[in-house]
Amino acid sequence: MAKLTILEFPDPRLRTRAKPVERVDADLRRLIDDMFETMYAAPGIGLAASQVDVHLRFMVIDVSETKDQQLDFINPEIVAHEGVQTCQEGCLSIPGIYADVKRHERIAVRALDRDGNPFEIQADGLLAVCIQHEMDHLDGKVFVDYLSPLKREQVRKKLDKQRRAAAA
Ligand code: NI
């Protein structure tokens, strides 16, 4: 297993629209394992392939307290949704920044698992938020895109400041 480098906003590579996975094989499973390791180490609750500069449609999630409920989604699709919820979100690609984002409250998602088998799950609460957040990454979107241009500019400045402080 290996820890991967996470791209950070405003890296233009985060804007890439990921392509569907065509083959679920051992290479993909290795990458999924590496992404879990990277996500747990960060630490985070979700990571999309786009964030580690792999532009294919898959992502890993574990929202459990005990960090032992790994969910992986390959070629995920939201097939139904209802309600609205607002939750404070953060992102491993935008460290130290948190903001409220409006999402579907409940969703049904269809995807392939790491063995290439199709499955469907219903999700609400934090898991539903996390799935929608990671799926945005696969479309080249990040959560600060939902903020006003002024707020987004403040985020950019704050990140610059953090990076300068870290480099000093
Ligand atoms: Ni994110």
Q: pLDDT of the chain along its 168 residues, tens only?
A: 789 999 999 999 999 999 999 999 999 999 999 999 999 999 999 999 999 999 999 999 999 999 999 999 999 999 999 999 999 999 999 999 999 999 999 999 999 999 999 999 999 999 999 999 999 999 999 999 999 999 999 999 999 999 999 998
- Catalytic position from the list 82, 89, 105, 134: 134
**Per-residue CA distances from 41 to 35, 137, 163 (Å):** 10, 20, 20
Residue 77 Cα to ligand 1 midpoint, Å, equals 17
Residue 47 CA to ligand 1 center (angstroms) comes to: 6
First to last CA, the chain: 32
Q: Specify whether 134 is catalytic.
A: yes
Quick check: 130 and 91 in contact, CB under 8 A?
Answer: no
Task: Give the Å distance between the CA of 92 and the centre of ligand 1.
Answer: 6
Bridge partners of 77, per DSSP, are: 110
Inter-residue contact 93 to 7 (CB < 8 Å): yes
State in Å: Cα 40 to ligand 1 middle: 14
CA of 82 to the centre of ligand 1 (A): 22
Span from the CA of 80 to the centroid of ligand 1 (angstroms):
22
Q: What is the pLDDT of residue 1?
A: 72
The pTM assigned to this predicted structure is 0.96
